[in-house]
Amino acid sequence: MKKFAPILALFLLSFGAVSAQCTVNVNDTVFGFTPPDSTFPEILKGVPLNSSYVTQAYVPATFTFSGFTVVIHWITITNVTGFPTGITYAKNPLNDTIYGGGRQCIALSGVTTDTPGIYQLAFEGLVYVTVPILGDQYYTIHQLDSMAASQPGAPKLGYKLKEVDPAGINDINTALVSAMQVVPNPNNGQFDVKFNYNGLLQGELRVIDITGKEVLSQRLDADGFYSTTIDLRNLAKGMYSVQLRTESGMASKIVSVE
């Protein structure tokens, strides 16, 4: 069911807007939505959004569903709701209808003081495809959702934004610090970040260089134990800070790349 990822991406990126605030990467061939909602930056309550809140989709002219090759002709969005109050968006290109093989980016902007939580975007629209045996077909997004649900382990066709309260996320959480390991340290730029924590681990894992520049960011959502491999071998040698920021505070370790 992962084959529906490019359609989902385009659905979200076809929303109306008045001006473009992002630049399309014409070399992007990532099949679907980049980044997915699982790694899209969290919206901080009361904090203006910055240039990190940009996504892009590459939508191929065909995709595979249940062993069949389906041709995507175009997708059009007619309505979308669910954004936190105060959050707006701009897309590039501005077209409401996007054709198979196209790319589009969207940039969120603004500031919200809504209640922190998960904001499920709801959208309506049509997709025009050619399906083997059935021929040319018009599907609503709801119909595609039903098709996706018929596949084992398939995700819902939707997109979520998460808003958090920044109060407390910069406070040191001693339990998180104790649970955090960076090994080996020192290293050649490739190392593991591990957490053995009694509880949910939900937040953003970041790597910061000595100038304060963020060089890596990824969403962390786990229960109890978590391990990931970080690769900085293409970056300069030196000291880096590995940070996990959650709503209950942060943990940080210094790592040496030699």
Consecutive 10-residue averages of pLDDT for the chain (258 residues): 42 45 81 73 85 79 80 82 91 83 87 90 84 90 67 58 77 87 94 90 86 84 88 91 85 89
Whether residues 59 and 181 fall in one domain: no
Domain assignment of residue 245, yes or no: yes
Same domain for 131 and 30? yes
- d(CA 7, CA 10) in angstroms, rounded, equals 5
For residue 194, the SS3 value is: strand
Q: What is the pLDDT of residue 145?
A: 66
- Domain containing 132: what range? 2-164
pTM of the model: 0.63
Domain end position, chosen among 106, 131, 164: 164
Q: Are residues 83 and 11 in the same domain?
A: yes
Domain C-terminal end among 132, 164, 196: 164
* 204 located within any domain: yes
What's residue 130's pLDDT? 92
> Is 169 domain-assigned?
no
Q: Does 154 share its domain with 38?
A: yes
CATH of the domain at 250: 2.60.40.1930
Of 138, 164, 190, which closes a domain? Answer: 164
The total number of structural domains in the chain stands at 2
* Spatial distance between the Cα atoms of 86 and 177, rounded to a whole number of angstroms: 35
